[in-house]
Amino acid sequence: MTQGVRLLIPPFINSHSHLGYAMTLGYGRKNETGTLLDAVQILREDVLPKITEEDLRSRMERIERDLFLSRILFVRTHEPLINDIAFKMLRIRSNPLVEMQVVAFPTPPLFFEDNEEKLELALKQGAEVVGMLPHHENTYEEGIRSIKIVMDLATRYDKLVDGHVDEIDDPESDFAHYMIDEAKKRKWGSKTALSHITSTHYQGASFFNLVNKLRETEVSIVVNPETNLYLQGRYANINIPRGMARVNYLLEHGVNVSLGSDNVSDVVYPLGTFDMITVMEICRTAEWNCPLKVVTENGFRTINVNPPVIKEGEKAQLVVLRHDGSSLHYMPLLVLNGRNYVINNIKPEISTVD
């Protein structure tokens, strides 16, 4: 019996998640419309007020274990400032299995209540990344001003930037252009990521101009196939768009693109998985192609972390996949992070009962 293929690769990167309220489906009322706007309202009113530090710690023990079993050793999580979720996450994160970057995420957006002050405080208290939500500000002008404030904070505190940008079914939403321009002025391109940019699936010439800017500035793009395919196009009656940024076009034109799980089992997306192979396969279904590098090497560029090297004396961080020839799905054989490891010895067999 063949032992199949063994593939040694770097650990997987989950470039975009919301771990603070993952696995909270049922904490609030049902999202009857399935739209992002209604989900955000339910989060704010029903879900986030119920997340205590104890609740967060309990869920994170399970989530971080699931991440490790899914071959993920590095994760970036966007945590709301509402109800101090970001601050709670900064206090409780300590799991040796997975290295976590916390994005201080102003949702509702920056100019809601005291989010601007909380954002700066979260950076002072250890959040590695500053987030934003310009297309949800009250006016277009406020959206532009929020980008400038966030980029100023990033350079002042030497932080990375990852914004929820243009996650909307509106071709006129073009905050991505302004964000790239601000990153270029500050020479902050390689430290900047744009998440979602789903408005670009409607755009023509504007999108091609954006691609040139991305390549020039080395700003990264994070795509979240599962959640975006579920959420986008809800307001369309005919010719419903796929809802995802054009992954393959971006890759073909030299833009760094990585993938995230985004929401998992919450009011925004009731399904979901932390398994990046599954996320990649969903991306491939939508895009007809999706290379492994979008969950490995490209992810390291996005989160601005040097990939681990396999070398004597260095901390071992690696994944060994196996493929038995009977399935297109690569199964983990070994996941190793320093002294912590998991080995998958499952051998499926079919038996007949007499």
Write out pLDDT tens, residues 139-191. 999 999 999 999 999 999 999 999 999 999 898 999 999 999 999 999 999 99
Phi, psi for residue 262 in degrees, rounded to 5:
60, -125
Q: Is residue 165 part of a domain?
A: yes
Q: What percent of the chain is modeled with pLDDT above 90?
A: 76
Please state, in angstroms and rounded to a whole number, the distance separating the CA atoms of residues 8 and 321: 7
Q: Judge whether residue 268 has pLDDT over 50.
A: yes
The count of residues in the chain is: 354
> Cα separations (Å) of 307 from 93, 127, 128, 297, 303?
22, 21, 18, 7, 10
Q: Is residue 335 part of a domain?
A: no
Please state, in angstroms and rounded to a whole number, the distance separating the CA atoms of residues 21 and 1: 45
Mean pLDDT of 194-206: 89
In this structure, the strands spanning 331-337 and 340-343 are: antiparallel
Q: What is the DSSP letter of 303?
A: H
The per-residue pLDDT for 307 is 93
The per-residue pLDDT for 1 is 38
Q: Is residue 331 part of a domain?
A: no
Q: Is residue 311 part of a domain?
A: no
For residue 217 the two structure tokens come to 């500035």
Q: Judge whether residue 2 has pLDDT over 60.
A: no
Phi, psi for residue 327 in degrees, rounded to 5:
-145, 150
Number of domains in the chain: 1
pTM, full prediction? 0.92
**What angle do the packed helices 115-124 and 140-157 form, to 10 degrees?**
20
* 3-class state of residue 205 by DSSP: helix
For residue 111 the two structure tokens come to 């100019």
Q: Judge whether residue 216 has pLDDT over 90.
A: yes
Q: Is residue 348 part of a domain?
A: no
Q: What is the DSSP string of 42-62?
A: HIIIIIGGG--HHHHHHHHHH
Please state, in angstroms and rounded to a whole number, the distance separating the CA atoms of residues 246 and 354: 53
Task: Give the mean pLDDT of the chain.
Answer: 92
pLDDT, tens digit (0-9, with 9 covering 90-100), for 31-58: 999 999 999 999 999 999 999 999 999 9
For residue 53 the two structure tokens come to 């530090």
Q: Judge whether residue 7 has pLDDT over 90.
A: no
Cis upstream peptide for 308 (omega within 30°): no
Q: Is residue 318 part of a domain?
A: no
Q: How many CB atoms lie within 10 A of CB 225?
A: 28
Q: How many CB atoms lie within 10 A of CB 318?
A: 18
Q: Is residue 316 part of a domain?
A: no
Mean pLDDT of 291-309: 95
Q: Judge whether residue 328 has pLDDT over 60.
A: no
Sign of CA dihedral 163, 168, 171, 172: negative
CATH number at residue 116: 3.20.20.140
Rg (CA), the chain: 20
Angle at 295 between CA 194 and CA 207, to 5 degrees: 35
The per-residue pLDDT for 347 is 66
Q: Is residue 129 part of a domain?
A: yes
Mean pLDDT of 12-28: 97
The label of the residue with tokens 């002042």 reads 156
Give the domain range for residue 49. Answer: 12-303
For residue 171 the two structure tokens come to 């071709």
- 3-state per-residue secondary structure call for 67-128: HHHCCEEEEEEEEECHHHHHHHHHHHCCCCCCEEEEEEECCCCCCCCCHHHHHHHHHHCCCC
